[in-house]
Every structure is written in C-alpha cells, then in structure tokens.
Amino acid sequence: MAFEFTDSNFTEKASEGVVLVDFWATWCGPCRAIAPAIEELYADYKDKALVGKLDVDNNPEVAMKYNIRSIPTLLILKDGQVIHQHVGLTTKQVLANKLDAALAPVVA
C-alpha cells in the first residue's frame, strides 16, 4: 500500500528527495479511479522516490498549505519544492515520466 501522508508527518517525509503526493478523499470517484496507478508507482519507485497519498478530509493543514481546491491533485516535490502539479485524472505513464524527469541528474 502506498505511503500515507498526514499533517504530522508531511514536512519530514516530503522535505528530501523526490516525492509524489496524491491528494484524495474516500468519497471522490476519480480519486478511486487513479488509486491503482498510485499503488503501482509506489511499488515501481520504492527505492527511488516516495509515492503516497494524503486524505484531505483527515489532513486539512497540508491541503490548505498547498492550496488544494480540487481532487485528485497530484504534486511532485523535489527536496521540498513543488516541481509539478496535476489536477484530475491522469495515467500511470504520465506520472512515471514526470517522476523520471524529477529523478534525472541535473546537467550543468
């Protein structure tokens, strides 16, 4: 199961490396539709990036901090900074491509 972000662990867990956060809620149909892709990405990237979910109903502080207005919203952070945001449904491949780009070494 994908990592579960909370208001209390988010800052610590999302401050280093590459992180994909799925902002979701149990009542959200599109959130449930994308859930299998998030689980697969969690397994595929477990040694390279942290992939997890944050329930906006149970963790309103982080959702407010990132101004989450619609769900699902997916954020990719690198060392605590948002580098990509996607609102709504998307495919596993699109997210994998974004994660791969975030993980790629910076060429000077």
Please give the model's pTM, rounded to 2 decimal places.
0.94
Query: What SS3 class is residue 100?
Result: helix
**Catalytic member of 31, 49, 62, 95:** 31
Show me where the domains of the chain are located: 3-103
Tens-digit pLDDT profile for residues 9-65: 999 999 999 999 999 999 999 999 999 999 999 999 999 999 999 999 999 999 999
Task: Look at residues 105, 68, 61, 77 and name the one whose alpha carbon lies nearest to residue 15.
Answer: 77
Tens-digit pLDDT profile for residues 56-103: 999 999 999 999 999 999 999 999 999 999 999 999 999 999 999 999
Q: Catalytic site residue 32?
A: no
pLDDT at 1: 86
Q: Catalytic site residue 41?
A: no
**Catalytic member of 18, 28, 71, 74:** 28
| Arch. (CATH architecture) of 3-103 | 3-Layer(aba) Sandwich (3.40)
